[in-house]
Amino acid sequence: MSNIKITDELLIEELKIRFEEKKNSLEKLEKLTKELKEVNKKLGESEALKSHFISNITNEIVNPFTSIVVLSKNITLVKEGDWEKVNRMARLIHSEAFNLDFQLKNIFVAAEIESGELFMEVSNVKVDQLIESVIESFTPETEKKQLKFEFITDNGEDRSFTFKTDSEKLRIILSNLVDNAVKFSKNNKIIIRRWLEGKELFISVQDFGIGISEKNQQVIFDRFKRLDSGINSLNRGHGLGLSINKAILDFLDGDIKIKSEKNSGTVFTVSIPEPDQETGSFSADGNEMIFGDDEIF
C-alpha cells in the first residue's frame, strides 16, 4: 500500500508541475499576443507616417530654400553702404542654411543606419573639446534665443580628457541633443554635464523648457514622431533626431535616458561604454585563420 501512496504523491507533484508549466506558457502566449497587437498598431501608424513623410520633408526642405533664395537676392539689391541690412539678412540666411544642413545630415545618417552601412571608427576623442565645438556650432541659434550654455565636467576647466569612441557618431548624438534642447528651451539656460563612471562615458543635456509627459516619453524615440504636433513653427524638426540617437547608441552599445517633468524641463542622459578591446583587435589580427581547431562550413 505504501508504494501506491508514494506514487499518488508523486503524481500530484507531477500534475502540479504540469499545471504550472501550462500556466506559464499561457502567460507567455498572452504576452506575445499583446505584443503582436501593439506591433500591428505601430505598423499601421508607420504606414500613415510614411505617406505623410514626403509632404513633411518637402516643407522642411523647400521652405528654408525659398527663404535663402529670396534673402540672398535681396542682399544683391541692397544699396551700397547699408551693411546693417546686409548683416541682418546674412544672419537669416545662415540660420535657414544651418537648419537645412542639420536636417539633411540627419536624413542621410538615418538612411545610412537603415541600410546597415555603419562602421565604427574608434579613436581617442577629446570629448570636452568636441562638446564645446558642438555648442559653438549652435551659436547663432542660441544668440537669437538668448540662450546660455553651462558646461560642467568632472575635470573642471581642463579640456584635455580623452575617451575611446567614434567621434563622428558622438558628434551627431550631441548635435541632436543640443538641437533638441535649443528648440524646446524656454528659459535662458542649457546645462551640459560630462562625467565618467568606471569605463563608461556619461553626457547629459538639460533644458528648462516645456518638458515631456510620461506617456510621450515612451514614444519619443519612434521615427518621425513629433510630440504635440501642430502648426507650431517654434517646434520644428521631424523627430528623426532622437530615433537616430537611439539607433547610434544601440550600435555603440550605449544607452539614452530621459528625465522630464511637464513644464519644468528635460534631461537627456547618454552613456557610452568604451568599445570592447577584443573586437577591436580582432579585426586587425592577421593570424586568426591558422588556428587548427576551426570548424569549416
Partner 1 sequence: MERPKHFLYPGAIFANTEPYYITTILGSCVAVCLYDPVIKIGGMNHFMLPLWNGQGLASPRYGNIAIKKIIEKLEALGSSRSNIKAKIFGGAEIIATNINQFMIGERNIRIAKDILHEENIQILSSSLGGKLGRKIIFDTYTGEVRQKYVGEKK
Catalog residues that contact partner 1 under the rule CB under 8 A: 28, 35, 38-39, 42-43, 45-46, 110, 113-120, 221-223, 243-244, 246-247, 250-251, 279, 282-284, 286, 288-289, 291, 293-297
Question: What nine digits make up the cell of 264?
Answer: 519644468
Of 102 and 221, the one with the shorter C-beta distance to partner 1 is 221
Rounded to whole angstroms, the Cα distance separating 108 from 92 reads 24
Written as one letter, the residue type at 66 is T
Find the shortest distance in angstroms from Cβ 292 to partner 1. 10
Find the shortest distance in angstroms from Cβ 280 to partner 1. 8
Question: Is the Cβ–Cβ distance between 260 and 208 less than 8 Å?
Answer: no
Find the shortest distance in angstroms from Cβ 276 to partner 1. 9
Find the shortest distance in angstroms from Cβ 267 to partner 1. 21
Of 109 and 203, the one with the shorter C-beta distance to partner 1 is 109
Find the shortest distance in angstroms from Cβ 40 to partner 1. 9
Distance, CA of 255 to chain centre? 9
Rounded to whole angstroms, the Cα distance separating 136 from 175 reads 11
Rounded to whole angstroms, the Cα distance separating 150 from 152 reads 6
| Residue 219 CB partners (closer than 8 Å, separation 6+) | 225, 227
Find the shortest distance in angstroms from Cβ 38 to partner 1. 8
Of 31 and 144, the one with the shorter C-beta distance to partner 1 is 31
CA distances from 170 to 19, 104, 173, 183, 246 (A): 51, 18, 5, 20, 12
- Classify 116 in phi/psi space as left (phi over 0), alpha (psi -120 to 50) or beta: left
Of 4 and 296, the one with the shorter C-beta distance to partner 1 is 296
Of 110 and 191, the one with the shorter C-beta distance to partner 1 is 110
Distance, CA of 65 to chain centre? 26
Rounded to whole angstroms, the Cα distance separating 113 from 28 reads 32
CB count, 10 Å around CB of 149?
20
Rounded to whole angstroms, the Cα distance separating 58 from 72 reads 21
Of 92 and 109, the one with the shorter C-beta distance to partner 1 is 109
Find the shortest distance in angstroms from Cβ 35 to partner 1. 8
Of 71 and 247, the one with the shorter C-beta distance to partner 1 is 247
